[in-house]
Each structure stands twice: as structure tokens, then as C-alpha cells.
Chain A
Amino acid sequence: DTGVSQNPRHKITKRGQNVTFRCDPISEHNRLYWYRQTLGQGPEFLTYFQNEAQLEKSRLLSDRFSAERPKGSFSTLEIQRTEQGDSAMYLCASIPLASGIETQYFGPGTRLLVL
């Protein structure tokens, strides 16, 4: 257990439904990242928050995806009108403001299956 928690751990949904995932970073970790990992591939960057500000979004994050971190603590990632291609593991990671990636911790991920 790295201290970064993600819920749910697994989600099965039908194509066209909306899903929302939650990430709770380690307390006082100001930076929070979302990645997506498909089977047999490395994680791909989706978006990054510093406190509540969303500082960078990947082109992978289509308009069906939205991420928030309203109070600078937990974050949510919502996918609207899910497609089968959205099936993947969604990973969250956090880093303290005063440190770099050497203190980064990943959560266990949310595995999404879109039928």
C-alpha cells in the first residue's frame, strides 16, 4: 500500500454509460497525475494537477474526459459516453510540492472494462 488510494478498483460498464473514478493522494501531496495503461503498453499521461489547478492535459484526453480536483485534495476522472476503446487501467500518482518524481507514488489503479 503506497498511501495513494483509488476507487473503485474495478468497473464494468456498458458502452455509452458514464463512469467516474476517484483518487485520494497521499496527504499533503500537492501534485496529482492521471495516467492510462492499456494491456501490453506502458502508462500514458492524461493530465496533471498542482493543488486544484489543472496544469496540463494530454491530447489523449478527449472532450468525453474531464478531471477535477476541487479542493486540491482528492481528484475525480469522469468519462462520458464510454467506448470500448476506453477499456484500460486508470492510474493516479502523487508527489509532494517540494519534491520530485523520486518521491512519486502510484495508486493501485482502477480497471475499466467497457462492454
Chain B
Amino acid sequence: GEDVEQSLFLSVREGDSSVINCTYTDSSSTYLYWYKQEPGAGLQLLTYIFSNMDMKQDQRLTVLLNKKDKHLSLRIADTQTGDSAIYFCAASETSYDKVIFGPGTSLSVIP
């Protein structure tokens, strides 16, 4: 089955860019996602990319996909203290299938 890995911690200064990396194992994963979870808050889908795309940009968020290496990254431009949260990389085979989550990357933004 699918296995999703990501680094556990990232610390950046406010105003810098953050890059969170993720690898997945199952080439049949068609949908790749980034979720955000803040303390005491629910899980929020930030953005997603189809496996036939290389890049997707959404305001301050840029998702890059290297399908050959099964590597996904999330870049947050001009990182703010409000971006401090846990970010989960995730994958699914279809748009309504179960989602396989990575362990999460805890992003700390230093003022």
C-alpha cells in the first residue's frame, strides 16, 4: 500500500520562504494533497495537485511534483507567524478514495 514520508520539523524566520518536502511510494496515487492542522483546530485541505501536473500555484502556496521521483513539495512564500502549524502531505488514488497521510511536518515561524 501507499506510504507517505516527510520531514518532521521545519523552522523559518518570518518573511522567508518555507519548503516542506514529501515522498510517496505508490505510483497509482493520482491525487496529492497538502493539509494544514493548527492546534485545537480541524484538518484543513490547503491545496492539491493531479499527478499529471508538475506545478500548481495558489497565492502564496506553490506545489511542485516530480512524478518520476515521487517527490512533492509545498513552498510557502513570505511565511507569516500565522502559518505555524502541522502540514500533512497526503495521497489518494481517486478524488473520493481514502486518503493516506504522512506523519506531518511541524512548521515553526520565528518572528
Contact = CB atoms under 8 A, between A and B. Distances in A.
Interface of B is mostly: strand
Contacts, number: 54
A102 B96 contact: no
Contacts of A84: none
A42 B88 contact: yes
A101 B31 contact: yes
Interface residues of A, number: 25
A41 B43 contact: no
A101 B103 contact: no
Given A91-B43, A106-B43, A101 B102 contact: no
Interface residues of B, number: 22
Contact of B45 (A41, A43, A102): A102
A108 B42 contact: yes
A42 B96 contact: no
A109 interface: yes
17 contacts: A31-B96, A33-B98, A40-B103, A43-B99, A45-B99, A48-B98, A58-B98, A91-B42, A93-B43, A100-B94, A100-B96, A101-B92, A102-B45, A102-B95, A106-B42, A108-B41, A109-B42
Interface of A: 2, 4, 31, 33, 40-45, 48, 56, 58, 91, 93, 95, 99-102, 104, 106-109
Interface of B: 4, 31, 33, 41-45, 48, 88, 90, 92, 94-96, 98-104
Given A42-B101, A58-B98, A93-B43, 9 more contacts: A31-B96, A33-B98, A42-B4, A42-B104, A45-B98, A91-B43, A101-B33, A101-B95, A108-B41
